[in-house]
Chain A
Amino acid sequence: MSNAIELKNISVYYGQVCALAHINLTVKEGDYLGIIGPNGGGKSTLLKVILGLIKPSQGTIRIFGRPLTPKGRLISYVPQFSKFDLRFPINVRDVVLMGCLGKRNGLLPKYGKEDQELVDCIMKELGIFDLRARQIGQLSGGQLQRVLIARALSAEPKILLLDEPTANLDNKSSNQIYSLLKELNKKMTIVLVTHDLAHISSSVKSLACLNKTLFYHGEPELNEPIINNTFGCPVDLLAHGVPHRVLRHHEEAK
């Protein structure tokens, strides 16, 4: 299997502040990688580097063996839904259609018939077809998140990146998002960034712990030293009665 994403010795500085230091990370095609880490640990920065939105101070990125081009059609992105102005005059369908904008060279401003059909098909798959005429402010958090995933999918990517897809969502909506991602993973590589430790280890295929540097990358089975290193403090990892555990053995935090 080929490598979907290859990061070699990536460092990012914001002025004097170091956000990422010497990151080496390889994501295989078809992988489902969860990146966890504390706030300010560089998770979003790492996503933006992979997307080509931030130029790293040093290091190289390869997507499917090729250097990152400004026209990155292979990757699509689901941002945090909390950053949107929910009063913006746009409906669900137009948001999803946006994913088709970059598919043709030269950014033709008109959507074709195949775009419309593709978008309808994706919306049906994600169960948001009935909401297509709604203004985005009239959606629940879970619905809006699915709209943003649909938008990313309409770009027909090979790699899907998600930034905190379940932040501010209740348990039921989170579960729906995770089962949707599991389904999507059959067709594409997925990388997601999250705080949601309880869910993540049961969903993803591999896990990375990021706090400025990469502390761990491998099987989604964590132990206490890794977590303590990443977060700098003991973290409540208890799986609250849910049938998946993050830790096998751990001592009570003092």
Chain B
Amino acid sequence: MPINYYIFLSIALFAIGIVGVLTRRNAIIIFMCIELMLNAVNLLLVAFSKMHHLKAAMTDITTKAGTDGQLFVFFIMVVAAAEVSVGLAIIVMMYRNIHSVDVNFLNRLKH
């Protein structure tokens, strides 16, 4: 597949994630949008890894080029999992304190 298609698909998913962050007020949904953006990037990384591999394989059939990209995606998933656990804990605590998950109530940054 032409790499352009993957680039545009990733950009579209990423932009949808951004629009979600900008338009929604529910902290959980915003969090999910962030996950969507992470996945868009992951998809692109894998596509690039395969592109790189194809190019390298033209000269050397046994090449391992491109492995790095996929391992990077793996680590992103690791970090994302850790992030989600902490983030959800924060959301729970926020709900416990202000009985809402509306980010508009979170304007303490002003002070």
Q: Are both chains from one complex?
A: no
Chain B residues engaging chain A, CB cutoff 8 angstroms: none
Chain A residues engaging chain B, CB cutoff 8 angstroms: none
